[in-house]
Amino acid sequence: MEELLSPYRVLDLTDEKGMLCGKILAHMGADVIKCEPPGGDPARRFGPFYKDIPDPEKSLFWFDSNVNKRGITLNLEVEGGRDIFRELVKKTDVVIESYNPGHMKSLGLGYEELSNLNSRLIMTSITPFGQEGPKAHYKTTELTRWASTAVMYCTGEPDRAPNWVRVPQARVHAGLEGAFTSLVALHYRERNGKGQHVDVSMQASAIDALLDTPEILLFLGRDYKRHGIADFVTKVIQKYGLPCRDGWVAFYTIGGGLLASAEHLGRVRDWMKEEGMAPEWFAKMDFVRDYQSAVIDQELVNRVEGVLEAFVKTKTKAELYERALKDRLIIAPIQDAQEVWEDKQLEARGFWTGLEHKELNDNIPYPSFPALFSEAPMRLKRSAPRIGEHNEDIYVGELGISKEKLVFLKEVGAI
């Protein structure tokens, strides 16, 4: 079957900072070869683990981050390993790596050296702060990388310390940016035949999440500090989720100039009147004129939301959703993990795909790609590689190394 990125080949030297980049390219059909040190990548020790059994071959993080890739063991710290890597580079389109700036060059494997072997090579480096600059060689963690973006400064309640999103946002942004820029570099190469070095900064990648916050400071002089769910201008706190009988629903409680929401509140009130749950003052309220940011205060907001919450608590998520579809209300169930698994829309798109893990004697469901392509559909072909799973296929079958030499290379620690 023709695939989007076949027959491009990618050598993936990344740790957890960049594995998402290789995963995206692998999903798109590139032949991504994950290179890990003999004995296995340290990321194999990241939990959680399949059936809670700590084992480098059962890391769910590893499974997810390296699905669709092939895998080899290769030690770049010894000359024999570097020689093999150079041979692989000659037949490679993209190398992605996340070593400290200058490390590849110190091994004689920097972009200049590798481009002499393959002038069409693209090398994408994913590091916390980029290859150059005063912070380029700083040691970091996911927390400190995220803190460097100012997004953390803007997140949380005004009277409490800055907060961070526990899902690793900095490396997600960097992985997405690494895949996108690698593809752009490939497109550029197709036009003029030239490879290049792509330098991805995790800090710079994640700053996109700030949206217009820097401009607010620059042009309006306002420091976009933490204000929780309060409005940035009015400082009034309005809710975006309300509890119902069996969970939570997303619910717009904003009126005034946001006309669609004001009309939604009016239709909710009509429903409440049908059931005798709209107090007289609430039944007479004009949600455009009487509930706009220029006139509301926290006391009025609390009063309105209290009435809405009392009504919503009498309904299930399904009842609220059904009425929302009928009356065009801005209400949607807030789905928990189980509901995401059971989501009919995702099912209709074939989003969850089972993948056989022969070594576990199990079929494990994986999320597929968020985009669907009509001409070259993406597919899950293989589970994440076991340690050295494709050594023989690649070293013997593709590089022509004899099996005897393969044994020798393993004995000397090259693979």
- Above 70 in pLDDT, residue 296? yes
**Domain extent at residue 48:** 9-209+349-411
- The amino acid at residue 395 is Y
Boundary of a domain, candidates 297, 312, 338: 338
DSSP reduced 3-state for 244: strand
- pLDDT tier at 2, thresholds 50, 70, 90: confident
Q: What is the CATH number of the domain that holds 137?
A: 3.40.50.10540
Look at the block and give the residue holding tokens 């000359």: 79
DSSP H or E stretch at residue 362: strand 362-367
Is 202 contained in some domain?
yes
Q: What angle do CA 38, 42, 43 make, to 5 degrees?
A: 125
Residues 6+ apart with CB under 8 A from 251: 239, 240, 241, 242, 308, 312, 330, 331
27 with 152, same domain: the answer is yes
Q: What is the pLDDT of residue 22?
A: 98
d(CA 151, CA 162): 9
Average pLDDT (147-168) is 87
50 with 174, same domain: the answer is yes
Look at the block and give the residue holding tokens 């593809």: 183
Number of H helices, E strands in the chain: 17, 11
Q: What is the pLDDT of residue 397?
A: 96
Q: What is the CATH number of the domain that holds 252?
A: 3.30.1540
The mean pLDDT of the chain is 93
306 with 378, same domain: the answer is no
Angle of helix 169-192 relative to helix 19-27, nearest 10 degrees, comes to: 50
166 with 247, same domain: the answer is no
Backbone torsion region of residue 59, taken as left when φ is above 0, otherwise alpha when ψ lies between -120 and 50, otherwise beta:
beta
Q: What is the pLDDT of residue 230?
A: 66
- Above 80 in pLDDT, residue 1? no
- The answer to whether 12 and 179 are in contact (CB under 8 A) is no
- pLDDT tier at 395, thresholds 50, 70, 90: very high
Residue with the larger pLDDT of the pair 173 and 2? 173
- pLDDT tier at 292, thresholds 50, 70, 90: confident
Q: What global pTM score does this model have?
A: 0.91
Average pLDDT (218-223) is 81
What φ, ψ does residue 347 adopt, rounded to 5°?
-60, -40
- Of 106-110, 123-127, 222-226, least confident by mean pLDDT is 222-226
The sign of the torsion formed by the CA atoms of 367, 370, 372, 376 equals: negative
pLDDT in tens, 26-58: 999 999 999 999 999 999 999 999 999 999 999
* % residues pLDDT > 70 (the chain): 98
- Above 90 in pLDDT, residue 229? no
87 with 183, same domain: the answer is yes
Which of 115, 137, 116 is closest to 128 using CA atoms?
A: 137
Residues 6+ apart with CB under 8 A from 379: 1, 353, 368
Q: What is the pLDDT of residue 275?
A: 96
pLDDT in tens, 75-89: 999 999 999 999 999
